[in-house]
Structures are given as C-alpha cells and as structure tokens.
Amino acid sequence: MPGFELFGDLERKEVHDVLDSGVLMRYGFDGMRNGHWKAKELEVELQCTFEVNHAQLVSSGTAAVSVALASAGVGAGDEVIMPTFTFVASFEAILMLGAIPVLVDIDDTLTLDPQAVEQAITPKTKAVMVVQMCGSMGHMDALRSLCDHHNLIFVEDACQAIGGTYNKKPLGSIADLGCFSFDFVKTITCGEGGAVITNNPKYYTHADYYSDHGHDHEGTDRGAETHPFLGYNFRISELHAAVGLAQIKRLPEFLTVQKKNYTLLRDAIARVPGVTFRKVPKGGVESYAFLNFFLPDLESARKVSAAFKQNGLDVCFHYYDNNWHYFRKWQHLSEQKSLYPLASEVKQGLQELQNKTFDQSDHYIGRNISCLIKLSWTEEQVQERARKMVSCIKSCL
Ligand SMILES: *Cc1c(COP(=O)(O)O)cnc(C)c1O
C-alpha cells in the first residue's frame, strides 16, 4: 500500500507550484498565490473519488479521527466503541477529547464484531468507530443498523483501506463521517496529512472551523473572521496538499498494481492446506493493500512469522506480538501512563482494561499474518515471494 514507493515528476510539479508562489499556507494570501489552492483542489478531488459532498483536509489521520468525533459533538465522558485491533491513533483521538475508548472484540473480518458492539452499548455510548483494517471492512449493514437503532454516531476509519468498496460505495463514505490518513505508509501520501469526509453539511462546517482555531472562513480578511466556537490547529500545509494532489490522480494505477500483486500471492498460498483467509463481508471489495491469512493456531503463526523473517520476506506482520496495533501490547493505555492528569471519568473507563482479556480477538489476531502489498515489486519478485511464502508455510505446518 505504500505511497512512499512511487514519487515522481507529477508530485515534483505540484510542489514546485507552491514553492514558486511562496504561499505555504492553505488559507489567505490570495494576491500572492498565483491561483494555487492545492488543499482546496485536493478536497474537490477527494469529494469526487470518495463520492461525498464534503471533504476537509487536516494535518494527520489521527487529527482526522479526533476532528470527526468533535464535529459530531463527542466529548467529555462520552463512550466511543472501538476495536481491539487497530492503530494506537484510534484511542489517542478519543482521549484527546476527554472521551472514553471502550474496546470490543473483532471477528474474522479483523474489524468490529457487531455482537460485541451491541453488548458494549451503555447509556453513555455516543459513537461507534469501525476501523477498516488492512484493506478490508466490517459488517457495515449490521453496524449501521445498530447505530440507527441506538441513535449513535457511526464513524469509519478508512485509513488503511483507501480504494476499497462496500456495495459499490467507497470505504470511508458509508458511515456518518469517514477518516483518512495520508501519512508516509498509506496508499496515497501527503508526507503527513489526513481528511474527514461526510455528507452531513453541519459536521463538515464544524470540521472546517474546528480544524483552524474556529475560523469561519467568511470573506477575504482572515483577521476579521469570527469564531463561532472553540477550535484548534489541525491544518494541512499547501506543500503537503500538493503532494497529495499528485498522488490521488495516481490512485487507480496504484490500486491496479496492488490487486495484481495481491492476487498472485493469494492464489499461491491458497493451495497450502491449513491456510485460510479473513472474511470479506458480502458486497465488499478489498483495497488489496494487505494480504491477510490465518494459520491453524498461535504457535504455527509464530513459526511462520519467524520463517518469513529468516527468509527475507519483509513487510509481513504477526500483529499479536506487535506493539502498535493490538490491545495486548498497549500497556501505556491500560496502565494510564499519561504525562498529565487524566479526567476522572477517563481514568475510570480505562481502569476496566487493567485485567481485561479478549479471547475472541486473540483467537483471530494470534493466528493472523498480514502481508503488506508493495507497488514497486516486479512480477518476478512477486513470483519469487510467492514461492518463498509457500515453502515457509509448508515447512511450519
Ligand atoms: C495510519 C493510521 C491512522 C493515523 O494516521 P496518522 O496520519 O499517522 O496520524 C489512524 N488509523 C489507522 C487505522 C491508521 O492505519
């Protein structure tokens, strides 16, 4: 999935446009900018690509999640349901608002288990956040109807599934608010950056103002703008947006290569007895950013992971033993290692994690290997990789 692999003349040209005008900020300086509005242009591209009415660029994917939640009114003491398997950014974005992350089990989709979500709903629950991990998605219809039934805000973190679809709709566009990251390892990159997308005009306006100190962006005199509510600075710079503008035009090409490489590897390991694949909900099409497969048990997954490393098969992850993507290694969260005092409601909420176990999540993540799909591999390299993967797995089972 990495956008970092392919950087060329298109990106260079867009960045040069910005450097030539010298206006590195996305707002104001109308006279100096020679008509260059890279962030605004990229927002229009995002609206087209993801088939939504509104897109707001921000400084990162973590910022996008936090801005999305804030825009929908999530704050102090509200519970936000999130999965045990995701990037640490998910709970960071919730904690930033004084809200409480409530972790629940994943299922064989490697995303939220709708039943576990339902069991976790309390009177304090305000939002459900599905994280479309490793290029695929959750049971979106089931999650949507749960949210509707309990009057909850539905948020979709599609940072790792740019270009995937569900019932022909782009991932990110299905829930009330969708979030993307354009950091250096995502399918398309800005260097650093992110976006909130939505069809809700109120949420969009909130995201627009909130991510820029509350500025209402009316008129052409920035100093004279009013601040209808409090905000922060989660702005993207023009330089970053320029890179993204070039990259998004190449997204169809990136997805084609991902699919080709993914399919070759999948077809090869599918023939090995004992290998099964993550479930993709009916109507879903993966972004092919990762190939995810299950082994029979934790022990064989650990063996295969070690064999991959020994044989030079990089970018394959056994997330069960990984510090950043699975609850098991998030001691800084469960032990509340904060630099500053946390609100008492948050402390209370996190207290619950101290002795908590997630057997169902362990059952899936313990047996799962996720292989990143690179864009820069030649066909021979993919073939060679497929051969090595098959022989490593066979030697371990
Ligand atoms: C990368 C990522 C983020 C955070 O993005 P940053 O731009 O690095 O802040 C959030 N959620 C998921 C699932 C991610 O993979």
| pTM assigned to the model | 0.97
Q: Counting atoms of ligand 1 from 1, which one is nearest the CA of 89?
A: 10
The binding-site residues of ligand 1, defined as CB within 6 angstroms of any ligand atom, are: 60-62, 86-87, 89-90, 131, 157, 159-160, 181, 183, 194
Q: What is the mean pLDDT of residues 307-317?
A: 97
Please state the atom number of ligand 1 nearest to the C-alpha of residue 132: 13
DSSP-derived secondary structure for 300-355: HHHHHHHHHHHTT--SEE-GGG-TTTBGGG-HHHHTT--SSPPPHHHHHHHHTTTT
Instruction: Please report, as a single letter, which amino acid is at residue 330.
Output: W
- Ligand 1 centroid, distance to 57 Cα (angstroms): 14
CA of 182 from ligand 1 middle (Å) equals 8
Residue-wise pLDDT tens digits, 98-108:
999 999 999 99
Query: Counting Cβ atoms within 10 Å, is residue 48 exposed (0-12), middle (13-18) or buried (19+)?
Result: exposed
- Which residues, in sequence order, are CB contacts of 266 under 8 Å at separation 6+? 277, 291
Give the residue-averaged pLDDT of 355-376.
97
If you take atom 6 of ligand 1, which residue's CA is the nearest one? 61
Which amino acid would we find at residue 300? S
Secondary structure E strands in the chain: 54-58, 79-83, 100-104, 125-131, 153-157, 165-166, 169-170, 177-181, 194-198, 276-277, 284-285, 290-294, 316-317, 368-372
With cut-offs at 50, 70 and 90, classify the pLDDT of residue 135.
Answer: very high
**Distances in whole angstroms, Cα of residue 102 to Cα of each of 40, 66, 129, 232:** 35, 15, 10, 25
pLDDT single digits (tens) 202-237: 999 999 999 999 999 999 899 999 999 999 999 999
For the stretch 21-53, pLDDT in tens is 999 999 999 999 999 999 999 999 999 999 999
138 alpha carbon to ligand 1 midpoint, in Å?
A: 17
Domains and CATH numbers, the chain: 3-250 (3.40.640.10), 252-396 (3.90.1150.10)
Q: What is the pLDDT of residues 164-189, one digit of tens each?
A: 999 999 999 999 999 999 999 999 99
Sheet containing 284-285: which strands, arranged edge to edge?
Answer: 169-170, 165-166, 284-285
List the one residue out of 188, 161, 187 whose CA is nearest residue 174.
161
Best residue among 66, 183, 326 to mutate for probing ligand 1, ranked by most atoms within 8 Å of CB = 183
Ligand 1 probe mutation, 129, 157, 211, most atoms within 8 A of CB: 157
